[in-house]
Chains A and B, each alone.
Chain A
Amino acid sequence: MSQPERRQELDELLAPLSDDSEPVPRRPLNREQIVSRMVEVSLAPEPRFSQRARMGGGLALAATLALAAWGGSSWWRGHAGSRNGIEVVALRGQVTSVEGPLGVGKPVHLSATGTLETSKGAEARFTAPGGLSVELLEDTKVSLADLGGAQGSSALRLERGRVRCSIQHLPERQFVVVTPSARVVDVGTVFSVSVDPGRAGPTTLVHVEEGAVLVEHAGGQARLGAAQSWSSAAPAPAPAVEAAPPVDTLPEPLPSAHRDLAKHRPPTLAIETELLQNGLRSEQRGELQAAAKAFETLVARYPSSPLAPDAKLALSRVRSRLESAK
């Protein structure tokens, strides 16, 4: 077949799609819905979960459940058959449940199973029966598998990141946040719990805004009241305070327009936590100057941090020790 004959045959084969004589029909279209979806995609550009990814999510869920079982926790097992759903809303960024990504600003009802995860720069909030409200800050992953209904005891497993919990305390009900190194039992309060992966293993930090919590950890128990914090940071092989980022490279707190959640959720929490932990470790090692520097940096740079009151107390204590040593 010659080249012109070949071209002619191709043109004939492709003619049904090349015909431009027919006008494109007008069809009904929900423009606003499509534009909304475009905005969501641009804020969270990762593709929707593929079938394979869904299977992976299922495996992750199985692993999470296996982990919970391995932990041998005795709390809240008897209510599995009566679990209620939760209402989740993605406040910004990419938020994923086992059912896939959630649309920003669209509340969805989910069964209290599997995990809920926020990516970098994302935030979400869920509410559960019984007046429990939990905010997930960025880069946070929680397991909902042990979250019960309004009755009995329920638990939220924090695998990484930070949550801020608000719950009305009822004597017949117990709510617990479980981290790799502690159980934080609410006693009617507003409190936050964070898990920092860290180089030497995960570190749990608890801060109470209102009311009180009971922190159960390997070394015993600690009861925290309003404005008090607790950290599981080990004293020995920790990095020195010099490892903390220099003051002039620390990120600025977000402008007020971006503070769309409560006041007490600094986007720089990881840095603030590291500063406080470094200060405490330095203090325990007797490196008082380094400890003071870490606390001063935290207080000066992040005055509205939920950790600032603790840093001020620690700074006062360290300065007293420095004065005594002179």
Chain B
Amino acid sequence: VNVGAPKSLPAPGAEASDPVVGEGAPSEAQLLTGVLAGERWAHAVLFDRLYPVVARTLHKVLRDKSGDYEDLVQVSFERIVRTLVGEKRTQVLSLSAWAGSIAAHVALDALRGRMRERRFFERDVAAAPRLERVAGANLERQLEARQKLEWLQKALANMNADQAETVLLHDVLGHGLNEIAAMMGVTAAAAQRRLSRGHQELLRRAAVRDKERP
């Protein structure tokens, strides 16, 4: 599963003054050692290395230009560092994939927060220009695309959190079940159950929606 940096988004701030960026860049093991030691260079390199996947994941889930984007990036990296220096760091198999899963978790939290704050529809207004570009000139298709996105985000935000995250990691971000199990600290069988129940719940909500349609 490739969740690496998209070519369309270069790392935002690899500075020439960073002695470890570029040739002779540190390995993941060196990076982790530096982070554990509280070294600033290691955190800077970690940010540059993982920012693309974090940005891509946040964008895939949220699909808007909300003003709290920088906050979400910061929260994602705080969680990344907190987990790296915490007791669960041995579960990290692939830094990039794992960082994406953390960003997905942050994005889901953000969606739930927006639901709670009843700001969901205001955010959708902000998202409208993007959808216009995606959907082309057909206004009806634009509206339909917006409604589908809105419905899916609401469904994921209101679902069981573990199930929603599993669906997101598997179906949207493309992780395998074993990888998801390692990321979430459960067995592969438990991850499979979460995915299956998540699918059932999505289909159930879709059925309810279809019945309520005029």
Contacts and interface: CB of A to CB of B under 8 A. Distances in A.
Interface in B4-33: 6, 8-9, 12-13
Contacts of B46: 38
B55 interface: yes
Main secondary structure of the interface of B (DSSP, over half): helix
Contacts of B211: none
A85 to B, nearest CB: 27
B70 interface: yes
Given A45-B82, A45-B85, A13 B40 contact: no
Interface stretch (B58-66, B94-102, B114-122, B181-189): B58-66
B40 A17 contact: no
Given A10-B202, A17-B149, A34 B60 contact: no
Residues of B in contact with A, size category: 35 or more
A14 B155 CA distance: 11
Given A41-B78, A41-B82, A23 B8 contact: yes
Interface string B136-174: 000000000100110011010000000000011001100
A285 to B, nearest CB: 44
A38 B172 contact: no
Interface string A32-44: 1111111101110
Nearest to B155: A13
Contacts of B55: 24, 27
Contacts of B202: 10, 13-14
B47 A16 contact: no
A4 to B, nearest CB: 14
Given A21-B134, A24-B9, A37 B77 contact: yes
A28 B78 CA distance: 19
A17 B172 contact: yes
B59 A38 contact: no
Contact of B81 (A18, A20, A26, A38): A38
A184 to B, nearest CB: 35
A13 B60 contact: no
A25 B81 CA distance: 25
A9 B206 contact: yes
Contact of B152 (A17, A22, A26): A17
Given A10-B199, A17-B152, A42 B36 contact: yes
Contacts of A325: none
A15 B206 CA distance: 14
Contact of B84 (A1, A14, A26, A42): A42
Nearest to A11: B171
A19 to B, nearest CB: 7
Contact of B86 (A9, A19, A45): A45
A30 B155 CA distance: 32
- By Cβ-Cβ distance, the 5 closest A-B pairs, closest first, are A23-B8, A31-B13, A16-B149, A38-B43, A24-B9
7 contacts: A1-B203, A16-B152, A23-B9, A37-B74, A42-B36, A42-B43, A42-B82
Given A1-B203, A10-B202, 4 more contacts: A16-B148, A22-B134, A38-B80, A42-B81
Interface of A: 1, 6, 9-10, 13-39, 41-43, 45, 47
